């Protein structure tokens, strides 16, 4: 039961991350969004991929399929780690923000 609750909380956090990615995509572009950077567009799709992986993990947890749930968890963690780096690059540029690459 606690695994199901934990995976549901993770799914809620993934939804919030996608909403943040949508807001970032809408508000971080220049006037009229001409010349939107590829990082700004890519960060939204990466966050959606993390949401899909988290939803899959939640499904596998509710079905007691541990191996698949762990694999989906690894994919989700990788996707959201990549999302944070790409969002940082979209906001500050490569090498100019808190992430040193």
Residues 5, 61: Cα–Cα separation, whole Å = 10
| Number of helices followed by number of strands (H, E) in the chain | 3, 0
Q: What is the pTM of this model?
A: 0.84
The model's pLDDT over 13-72, given as tens digits with 9 standing for 90+, comes to: 899 999 999 888 888 776 666 667 788 888 989 999 999 999 999 999 999 888 999 999
Q: Which residues contact 101 (CB under 8 A, 6 or more apart)?
A: 85, 94, 95
Domain boundaries, the chain: 2-28+40-92
Alpha helix positions (H), 28-37: none
């Amino acid at each position: 039961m606690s695994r199901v609750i934990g995976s549901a909380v993770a799914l809620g956090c993934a939804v919030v991350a996608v909403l943040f990615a949508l807001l970032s995509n809408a508000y971080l572009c220049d006037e009229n969004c001409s010349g939107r950077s590829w990082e700004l567009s890519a960060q939204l799709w990466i966050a959606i991929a993390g949401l899909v992986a988290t939803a899959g993990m939640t499904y596998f947890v509710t079905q007691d399929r541990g191996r698949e749930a762990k694999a989906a968890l690894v994919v989700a963690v990788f996707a959201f780690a990549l999302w944070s780096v790409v969002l940082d690059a979209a906001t500050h540029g490569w090498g100019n923000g808190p992430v040193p690459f």
